[in-house]
Amino acid sequence: MPGVSVRFSVSAGVAALIGSGLYWLVDDIVFASVTGLVWGCGLALSIHQYRTAPSTPADTTWERNRWVGLGIGVVNLAALIGVSPSLPISSETRLGLGVLVIGTGLVGFAAASLAQGERHE
């Protein structure tokens, strides 16, 4: 199972990199760890989805992509505009919250795509 170990290593590396970077910025171990874990899981699910069901031209229809676009747009709106400079928090915490929200969107999209793929099998 060399593919599994590579996927795990890459995902764990990304989780450690994001978690340690956020810990350096916000100095909160729980927040940084959860954010790193979210991004590691999101990447692992995305890699798993790509390896088990790579996208085909038949998957790029307007009916499918409009919902993908809506989901991505709303998550980015929440991360970039919702966590706005008007909030009474530091810039570092604001950046960390944006990274957490976008990572959560990645996990949600990857998990929903995998669930949809299993539904059609």
Per cent of the chain over pLDDT 90 is 27
Q: In the prediction, which pLDDT does 10 show?
A: 86
Rounded CA separation 100/120 (Å): 30
Which runs of consecutive H residues, i.e. helices, occur in the chain?
A: 2-26, 29-52, 62-77, 91-119
**pLDDT reading at 58 higher than 60:** no
Residue pair 18/36 in contact by the 8 Å Cβ criterion: yes
* Residue-range definition of the domain harbouring residue 10: 2-119
**pLDDT reading at 85 higher than 70:** yes
**pLDDT reading at 33 higher than 60:** yes
At 24, list the tokens: 């350096």
Of 117, 82, 121, 87, the C-alpha closest to 102 is 82
> What mean pLDDT is reported for the chain?
83
Rounded CA separation 27/86 (Å): 22
Q: What is the mean pLDDT of residues 41-55?
A: 81
Q: What is the mean pLDDT of residues 44-55?
A: 79
Report the domain count for the chain: 1
